[in-house]
Amino acid sequence: MKTVHGHIPRKRFGQNFLHDPGIVARILAAVDARPGQRLVEIGPGLGAITLPLLRACGRLEAVELDRDLIPRLVEQARGVGELVIHHGDVLDFDFAALAGSGEKLRLVGNLPYNISTPLLFHLLAQAHAIADMHFMLQKEVVERMAAGPGEEAYSRLSVMVQYRCRVQPLFLIRPGAFNPPPKVDSAFVRLLPHPRPPVAVADETRFAQVVQLAFGQRRKTLRNSLKGLLESSAIAACGIDPGARPQTLSLPQFAALANAIG
């Protein structure tokens, strides 16, 4: 197994380390970190973005699961700035508690692709504590986050992310920018949590349930996938064809369906 700076990359931790200085510079420019801001990096790894971020803002917190990487990060940060590392699984990390009643957090990360969907849902639930997010993800995941009704990539993730955030895909990255190279293309994306959701939803759990059920079987019509929750007549009363498929529905239409459940 090839090592990267003396470390054997762990596949189970989704370790693909960024080594292209041009991409690091583009990430830094997109994030535009300033002293005093509350930056938190997810998965600092060998420090490719950590150190430049620390130089830019003087203080940085990071969440890293791989214990073996922590001593070298601490060592690298010496004399550069204050690096606070939280050892643990980001899927259990309470960002809202970290933000407390202070300034909202700015999250940055070249994310472990193997947990990207659960991680995005974990973060969306805490979006009220987050100022913005800049993430490297698998290109297809960014396409799904940004897609609109009628597009091939439009999915549950599109609706749930867009309910919470404005999505700005920024640039693509080829596998060769990483060591080891992943099998997929990557994309860098900015997520800006809405101050208020763009549509009124009476019960967010219901909304999430409707979206999940509707996209659970994409080929099924709403009449079938929402059986038990909403009668055809109730779907039609929202101005939506019960014979429609989920890929054609807008965010306000999903909200209308959720709000129609008695």
Which residues sit at the interface with ligand SAM, rule CB under 6 A? 13-18, 43-46, 48-49, 63-66, 69, 89-91, 110, 112, 115
Of 62 and 257, the one with the shorter C-beta distance to ligand SAM is 62
3-class DSSP state for residue 49? coil
CA angle (67 as vertex; 126, 114 as ends), nearest 5: 55
Beta carbon nearer to ligand SAM, 49 or 123 = 49
The rounded distance, in Å, linking the Cα atoms of 40 and 122 is 15
Write the single-letter amino acid at 217: Q
* Least distance to ligand SAM, CB of residue 15, Å: 5
Compare residues 93 and 207 and give the one whose CB is closer to ligand SAM: 93
Please state the φ and ψ torsions of residue 185, each to the nearest 5 degrees. Answer: -75, 160
Q: Which one, 66 or 241, has the nearer CB to ligand SAM?
A: 66
User: Sign (positive/negative) of CA torsion 212, 95, 188, 250?
Assistant: positive
Region of residue 187 (phi > 0: left; psi between -120 and 50: alpha; otherwise: beta)? beta
Nearest-approach distance from CB 61 to ligand SAM, in angstroms: 12
- Residue number closest to ligand SAM, CB atom: 43
Q: State in angstroms the smallest separation of the CB of 27 from ligand SAM.
A: 9
Q: How many CA atoms lie within 13 A of 164 on its CB side?
A: 25
CB of 77 to ligand SAM, least distance (A): 14
Query: Cβ of residue 180: shortest distance to ligand SAM, in angstroms?
Result: 10
The residue (of 45 and 246) whose beta carbon lies closer to ligand SAM is 45
Cα–Cα dist 169/142, whole Å: 7
The least CB distance from residue 169 to ligand SAM, in Å, is: 18
Residue number, 13 or 121, with CB nearest to ligand SAM: 13
Residue 66 CA neighbour count, 13 Å, CB half:
20
Give 40 or 226: the residue with its C-beta nearer to ligand SAM.
40
The CA-atom distances, in angstroms, between 229 and each of 46, 106, 191, 210, 259 are: 49, 38, 32, 8, 11
Nearest distance from residue 146's CB to ligand SAM, in Å?
21
Task: Report the C-alpha dihedral over residues 8, 14, 15, 17, rounded to 10 degrees.
Answer: 160
Q: Report which of 69, 60, 121, 68 is spatially closest to residue 90, judged by C-alpha positions.
A: 121
